[in-house]
Amino acid sequence: MSTVSTETTKGLKKVHLEEAVIRIAGNSQDGIQSVGDMLSRLSGRSARGVITFQTFPSTISGGPSIFQLRVGGHRLKSVGDESDVLIAFYQHSYRDHIKVLRKGGLLIYDSDHVTPDPDEKRFHLIGVPMTSLTIEAIGGTAKDKGKNLFLMGLIARLFDLESDKLIAQINERFGKRGPKVLDPALKAYNAGYAYDISTVGEVFEIEKDPVGRAHPQVCMDGNQALAYGAIAGGIRFGAGYPITPWSSVMEILRVQLPKFGGSFIQAEDEIAAIGMALGAAYGGTLAMTGSSGPGLSLKSEIISYAVMAEVPLLIVDVQRGGPSTGMPTNVEQSDLNLALYAGHGDAPRIVIAPFSVRDVFYAVFEAIQLMQEYNCPVIFLSDYSLATRVETWPEPNLKEYFRIHKPDLSPKGPNFLPYKDTPSGVSERIVPGSLMTDGNYPIISGLEHNEAGHPDGSPAMHTKMNAKRRRKLQTLRDKLPKPEVYGSDKGEVLLIGWGSTKGPIEEAVDQLRKEGMEISSLHVRYLCPLQKGIDKIMDRFKHVFVAELNDPGIYGFGQLAGLLRSVYGTNRISGINKTDGLPFKVRELVAAVKSKVMQTVHPSI
């Protein structure tokens, strides 16, 4: 919470902040998420950036839960390591989260439930009897439902937020449920907003973008961006099976695709889901399936079929903690090997991992274009962190990013070869319903086949067709954009990452550079094929570290590090890994890089 300036209004000192990190800690039924959503959306509506982070218990009901939002006027990259403001509903919320509050930060606690350490001098403490004031405001019942909205009113008052816009959101959210729900909600909010904050002595104002924003801001989580990107890219059929944290993608598409003439089917299992999606894809409709780790492993046989039959298909994996049921509501990047290698035989496929909520939209759009261009499955590796975090980002220009796709039923032939062995490896596919002018119809098959699609498992044919399927991705590799280094293109340390960790990695680079280290970072968005030139970039740095949220394994490096080491034949790459189920904190990365550099200089330490 860096202070910009202060002024005094109405007896309260007004403190301007560049940005603030606010953490709300309570239980999962307290409605913390809906308050977080409304505050996030408000920030987007008032030219501020926001990134959120939330935790849920994976149990059905109950258990501690938090919502953290970082709000500020400049482009934010991560959710922030420390909180400027901690709001604690319960004693356990206070006890478990006080450690993330920065020194001098603000602790707002429900004095009906929380008794802070009386000797606490590090923080600014404000006790508010939120539970009893909420009950009083709503009128007489002993239920404390609504204290989330009381809190939102209090935050609006303290941070001088546009109260009318928050009230409008309460109306949008609860209005359709009638006055029995809406009236208490508004009463609770207003009671919080009216709370006498003179004891605090200050109100805070978080900076907006100085020049405003060129585009209106949209505000959503990564799964919503994924579903919208799929629609924009032309997906009109999907099938899936419920699994956390993938489910909300299918819930959105189930409801929204019919508006676009499409369908999303809840299948009986993960295998049926990919089978159905592939059936629609075979029929020429752009189709997708998705899951989280355990589900992706079930789909692997058909991934190999899609490679063999050369049918385009979008396959999403919203990664969570594994192996097995693992940690369903935690982030991990441990499905990279699965995405790269799931399936049997030599089955090359495209693998892309987005790095932010905004990038989820654009990357999924790109994935859909690539799968059509190369007639092969694309595995889209999102993760729990991207799926659940809310970000504001500039609205996409749909005039540029919207495609309508219809099956190509034009007549083909004579002598049409759906698996023609071209120099690029790419051949023109066939869709049922198209007329073959010479009367010869192709079958798609999992058996090795000749250019016409007829089974042919001869050694020469298998060698030739394996090469064809591989060459397609080599063609793509030639066309991928050059990898871009964040920072100087040479120096002491290159920090490589992939997926949702881009923000904290770049913030760590910024911080270490301020401290004098010659460090840059490289983010790998295309995991298969890899962009050309990564080796040349690595050569220009003394140390190469790959930071990823997975286990360093038996040999001391994670999954991307292993890939880079094998592809580039180097043992110079080492790993910065963790599997605590949480995103990287900037300070963790900073400390790990320093320690790694030290170890390399003084290996005996």
| C-beta closer to other proteins: residue 68 or 392 | 392
The terminus-to-terminus CA distance of the chain in angstroms comes to 36
* Dihedral sign (CA 33, 35, 41, 46): negative
- Beta-carbon contacts of residue 196 (< 8 Å; ≥ 6 apart): none
DSSP run (H or E) holding 23? strand 19-27
| C-beta closer to other proteins: residue 57 or 216 | 216
Query: C-beta of 313: minimal distance to other proteins in Å?
Result: 10
| C-beta closer to other proteins: residue 445 or 531 | 445
Using an 8 Å Cβ cutoff, are 567 and 526 in contact? Answer: no
| C-beta closer to other proteins: residue 448 or 518 | 448
Q: Tell me the two tokens of residue 133.
A: 């004031």
| C-beta closer to other proteins: residue 46 or 424 | 46
Determine whether 115 is exposed, middle or buried from the number of CB atoms within 10 Å of its CB (0-12, 13-18, 19+): exposed
| C-beta closer to other proteins: residue 129 or 407 | 407
Query: C-beta of 33: minimal distance to other proteins in Å?
Result: 16
Residue 250, Ramachandran bin (φ over 0: left; ψ between -120 and 50: alpha; else beta):
alpha
Query: C-beta of 71: minimal distance to other proteins in Å?
Result: 16
| C-beta closer to other proteins: residue 104 or 433 | 433
CA atoms of 176 and 192, how far apart (whole Å): 23
Query: C-beta of 260: minimal distance to other proteins in Å?
Result: 5
CA atoms of 429 and 420, how far apart (whole Å): 9
Query: C-beta of 471: minimal distance to other proteins in Å?
Result: 24
Query: C-beta of 276: minimal distance to other proteins in Å?
Result: 4
Using an 8 Å Cβ cutoff, are 446 and 428 in contact? Answer: no
Q: Tell me the two tokens of residue 408.
A: 């190509």
Nearest-5° angle of CA 471, CA 474, CA 479?
135
* Dihedral sign (CA 53, 55, 61, 63): negative
| C-beta closer to other proteins: residue 236 or 523 | 236
* Dihedral sign (CA 179, 185, 186, 188): positive
Query: C-beta of 256: minimal distance to other proteins in Å?
Result: 7
| C-beta closer to other proteins: residue 244 or 256 | 256
Query: C-beta of 223: minimal distance to other proteins in Å?
Result: 13
CA atoms of 164 and 157, how far apart (whole Å): 12
CA atoms of 310 and 445, how far apart (whole Å): 9
Query: C-beta of 271: minimal distance to other proteins in Å?
Result: 6
Q: What is the 3-state secondary structure (H, E, C) of 278-333?
A: HHHHHCCCCEEEEECHHHHHHCHHHHHHHHHHCCCEEEEEEECECCCCCECCCCCC
Q: Tell me the two tokens of residue 577.
A: 């890994």
| C-beta closer to other proteins: residue 224 or 330 | 224
Give the residue from 588, 551, 557 showing the smallest Cα distance to 570: 557
Give the residue from 559, 119, 489 showing the smallest Cα distance to 340: 559
CA atoms of 559 and 332, how far apart (whole Å): 12
Query: C-beta of 217: minimal distance to other proteins in Å?
Result: 7
| C-beta closer to other proteins: residue 357 or 524 | 357
Query: C-beta of 268: minimal distance to other proteins in Å?
Result: 4
| C-beta closer to other proteins: residue 390 or 544 | 390
CA atoms of 245 and 366, how far apart (whole Å): 22
CA atoms of 363 and 365, how far apart (whole Å): 5
Query: C-beta of 280: minimal distance to other proteins in Å?
Result: 4
